[in-house]
A and B are shown apart, each in its own frame.
Chain A
Amino acid sequence: MAVSADIYTERDQFSKPVAVSIGLHVALFGSILLYATVMGRFRGEDWGGTGGGGGAMSATLVSSIPLPASPESTNILANESKGVSQSLPKAEEVPEPTAVPIPAPDAKKLDRTTRSTRQDRKPAQPVQTATNVIPFGQGGPISGPYGTFSAGGAKGGFGFNGGGGDFGSRYGWYVDVVRRKVSENWLKYEVDPNIRDARRVYITFEISRAGQPRNITIEQSSGVPSLDQSAVRALQRIDTFGPLPGDYHGSSVNVEFWFDYRR
């Protein structure tokens, strides 16, 4: 009996280490899982735009550096000078000079014939440069980060209303400043990336004598909240447009500004 009792006590002694061992294993796997998820979260961030790591330089930055957009922005080779490959215009084939016979006594007749052949020849065509050719030089202007928007084809202008004011006709340059500055401060990336095209959003605001925008309101929503919000933020981001022209007597100017969004 005593022997069997010994066996029972030995079994009892085993169960504890087994439980401890199972517990430790569970803890180990748990910590591995935890480590993977936590570290995965830290490592998974996409630094510096597309592809992170060794990918191509990201040049789709949208910014409000107060500089106007670069006119050419499709060229990814970032350098100030114009291009890499020299694409010389195609050399025009020089037609063989037609043998003009030595003028004979009946020279008038011959003249007529040569004139007619000249008219048959096509007029010199201007050299067409293909759109996909990189211009000669070393690269072209840096693309980005200043491509604020490219709402190509959008039409617009400015008009005036109320009070018979002639602000726009007298101070066209100030209207240009307003347009340029709002455009520079509109960050397109704030708009929901799923939106491809949206209706025009109209914002109205007032420019104080000192040039600060105030009373910013959405006059007509585009139906896309993120687009409306980005338009309002563009104006909120602006500290000043510069003081109103000195010889303008009004205390403020109302502006209606529209934003066309197209991805």
Chain B
Amino acid sequence: MKRLFVLTFLISLATACFSQDWIRTGTGLGQEKIRIAVPDFKVSQGNPADLQKTFNDTLFSDLESAGIFEVVSKSFYPLQVPGSPQEMKLDAWGNPPPNAAMVAFGNLGTDNQNNLAVFGWLFDTRNTGSPQVLGKQYRKPATPDSAREIAHEFANEIIFRLGGGISGITQSKIYFISSRTGHKEVWAMDYDGANQHQVTRVGSIALSPRVSPDGSRVAFSGLASGGWNIMMWSNELNRAVRFPSLGGTNLSPAWSSDGTSIAFSSSRNGDPEIYVVDPNGNGLRRVTAYRGPDVSPVWNPKTNAQIAWVSGRTGLPQIYTMQADGTNVQRMTDQGYAVSPAWSPNGQFLAFAWIRHYGPGAPGAQDIYVMDITTRQFVQLTHNGRRNDFPSWSPDGRHIVFQADDQIWTMLADGTGQRQLTFAGKNSQPNWSFK
């Protein structure tokens, strides 16, 4: 009898192991954005009124700017806002007026040790059986910064889950050049424009900052006594670290996404050409060899096997691509004045600034374009009549940061959701961190 029992148990275990879940789905079922409701988090204990507002505002704006959600306007929400799963009424949220597919809700409170504790949930309103998609708990010192940080983390978690395994960008940074202190120095800010702070203190002129893939260093071109040189700033040591002086004018460094190489343009042999070095400045090798300036290299971050850059070999600057060893040169733009290429994280697109009709009698604005590399079809993203330049992709490939006149803006990679990030002083040349 006992043996029989063991046998049946083993058989049932085996069938359980081999049982496979099947999903059947297909295209043409609509591709709408996910409608998500984000009611304000309730206070569970203590009196964190300021922190509550900071948290709620940050979470709402994070999800709104994620690009994959349609955040339901707060005016549609039911009067009774849930603070915990017990208080959640799926009917009230899943049906009109809110008609939300997802609800992110929770509560926060401060305890005696002055810690901020946040409980957050994400519920699927159409799934009454097991609605919970996410349940998270955070505890950090009760400061506005950590309230923002927790909101960012929770938003990231939601975006990661519902966005198909692509991490959110709420904890990424944007490096840029600002002359607020009188000198052009490298500055950094959060992805939403908050927390703007100075990074370098070089005291001369810094240009084209590029943060390393691990975020520990910032390469930029700085004006030193010997002319323009590639300089390296360590975020960990908070000072400039040694990078060899290579002679000539050295500009626009670019990290490969594996952090093993830096491409830049140098005129050490007279004509500006593209060179590649390792992050310590060793192993210099020249990649381009053609008369006419070659500047602004960027790596294909997916493969690190290709470089896009700007060349003036036919007159006006145009975007080209080549293999990292200099072979297979392809011209990407056919006309006008095209500069500042930026390669998308999935390797399929180039964003760049383009004056499509350039010259006397052809007044044209400089706008940001995105081009599919395989088909060379392009789409214009900005139409604001300003001078738009220096696009840079976010790590999730859904956003682009760029410079419009003297300020930094972001937008979704389809040109929508444009938002100004900087307002003080003159700011330029943004660069989005790798993560």
A228 interfacial by beta-carbon distance below 8 Å = no
Known: A80-B417, A241-B164. A160 touches B21 (CB 8 A): yes
Query: How near does chain A come to B383, taking the closest CB pair, in angstroms?
Result: 6
B residues less than 8 Å from A175 (CB atoms): 23, 25
Q: Contact at A49–B378, with CB atoms within 8 Å?
A: yes
Q: Contact at B26–A259, with CB atoms within 8 Å?
A: yes
Known: A68-B33, A242-B161. A154 touches B379 (CB 8 A): no
Within 8 A of A (CB), among B290-340: 333-335
Within 8 A of B (CB), among A30-85: 45, 47-49, 52-54, 57-71, 78-80
A residues less than 8 Å from B26 (CB atoms): 154, 156, 179, 200, 257-260
Contact of B28 among A47, A151, A165 (CB under 8 A): A151
Binds B, one of A3-11, A107-115, A191-199, A247-255: A247-255
Q: Contact at A260–B21, with CB atoms within 8 Å?
A: no
Q: Contact at B166–A66, with CB atoms within 8 Å?
A: yes
Q: Contact at B28–A149, with CB atoms within 8 Å?
A: yes
Within 8 A of A (CB), among B51-76: 67-68
Interchain CA distance A129-B302 in the complex, whole Å: 47
Known: A49-B376, A142-B415. A149 touches B27 (CB 8 A): yes
B189 interfacial by beta-carbon distance below 8 Å = no
Give the residue name and chain of the A residue nearest to B15 (CB). Answer: A163
Query: How near does chain A come to B337, taking the closest CB pair, in angstroms?
Result: 15
Q: Contact at A58–B377, with CB atoms within 8 Å?
A: yes
A161 interfacial by beta-carbon distance below 8 Å = yes
Query: How near does chain A come to B249, taking the closest CB pair, in angstroms?
Result: 31
B residues less than 8 Å from A253 (CB atoms): 20-23
Query: How near does chain B come to A15, taking the closest CB pair, in angstroms?
Result: 45
B349 interfacial by beta-carbon distance below 8 Å = yes
Most buried by A among B21, B29, B68, B397: B21
Q: Contact at B375–A189, with CB atoms within 8 Å?
A: yes
Interface residues on A, range: 35 or more
Interface string of A148-178 (1 = CB under 8 A from B): 1101111111111111111111101101111
Binds A, one of B122-130, B223-231, B239-247: B122-130
B372 interfacial by beta-carbon distance below 8 Å = yes
Chain B interfacial residues counted at CB < 8 A: 62
Query: How near does chain A come to B387, taking the closest CB pair, in angstroms?
Result: 19
Give the residue name and chain of the A residue nearest to B17 (CB). Answer: A251
Q: Contact at B377–A145, with CB atoms within 8 Å?
A: yes
A residues less than 8 Å from B371 (CB atoms): 48
Known: A156-B29, A173-B162. A254 touches B383 (CB 8 A): no
A236 interfacial by beta-carbon distance below 8 Å = no
Query: How near does chain A come to B432, taking the closest CB pair, in angstroms?
Result: 15
Known: A149-B28, A211-B165. A168 touches B23 (CB 8 A): yes
Main secondary structure of the interface of A (DSSP, over half): loop
Within 8 A of B (CB), among A91-135: none
B residues less than 8 Å from A257 (CB atoms): 24-27
Known: A142-B414, A167-B23. A152 touches B28 (CB 8 A): yes
Q: Contact at B127–A169, with CB atoms within 8 Å?
A: yes
Q: Contact at B161–A64, with CB atoms within 8 Å?
A: no
Query: How near does chain A come to B393, taking the closest CB pair, in angstroms?
Result: 10
A residues less than 8 Å from B28 (CB atoms): 149, 151-156, 260
A182 interfacial by beta-carbon distance below 8 Å = yes
Within 8 A of A (CB), among B255-299: none
Instruction: Apart from A61-B372, A151-B27, A240-B164, list 16 A-B contacts with CB within 8 A.
Output: A58-B377, A61-B370, A67-B68, A68-B32, A68-B34, A78-B383, A80-B415, A142-B381, A142-B414, A145-B414, A164-B19, A173-B102, A189-B375, A239-B165, A250-B19, A254-B22
24 contacts between A and B (CB under 8 A): A48-B371, A48-B378, A52-B334, A53-B334, A58-B377, A69-B32, A145-B372, A145-B377, A161-B24, A162-B19, A163-B19, A167-B23, A172-B124, A178-B25, A179-B26, A179-B29, A186-B27, A240-B165, A241-B164, A242-B166, A253-B20, A255-B24, A258-B27, A259-B26
Report which A residues bind B (CB closer than 8 A): 45, 47-49, 52-54, 57-71, 78-80, 141-142, 144-146, 148-149, 151-170, 172-173, 175-184, 186, 189, 200, 211, 239-243, 245, 250, 252-260
